Chain A
Amino acid sequence: GESVGLHLPTLSVQEGDNSIINCAYSNSASDYFIWYKQESGKGPQFIIDIRSNMDKRQGQRVTVLLNKTVKHLSLQIAATQPGDSAVYFCAEILSYNTGNQFYFGTGTSLTVIP
């Protein structure tokens, strides 16, 4: 099967600093990538997405970078806040005739230190 892995399982940052969460994917044919945030006791929540024909996409305080050469995805969170503490998953989506297939990474636990 496909594999989507994260470089670091845990990350601690000081409040106000920027956070960078990394993700490696294995299939160069992936069409789409999504970052999800999962807070304790809740389901994953969509943060930001990027299509495979893009290199960068910005949202509110978040930026996703896609490097197809090395099959690497990153999520940058600006001015990290305590509410950003959560587990972050990247998801790789491949499109088939029968539908879309999602592959989730192992997750990075982000802790924001006040």
Chain B
Amino acid sequence: DTGVSQDPRHKITKRGQNVTFRCDPISEHNRLYWYRQTLGQGPEFLTYFQNEAQLEKSRLLSDRFSAERPKGSFSTLEIQRTEQGDSAMYLCASSLSELAGLITDTQYFGPGTRLTVL
């Protein structure tokens, strides 16, 4: 068990460019979550997947954001036409949901990708 990994750890981009982040969850985990954390704040939920299905998206996730988890393993989060307000830490977490929602499972977080939009 190597934990949740994210790539890249840091990304600096110019306004208007597209960026893509990758998250590799803990291998047996079927749920994967994306959060955004701005300076001085706690993480805010963006979206989550059960296997390859995207089950929910926050209203924070504008049309410029898209997330995928094509084979139910790793996930990508793409931001198109980045804006300075997108600068934040993007966190990925995973969990193993065994009982179809009967018991909530602990989420394990990756190290995050820090995005800076100039």
Q: Do A and B bind each other?
A: no
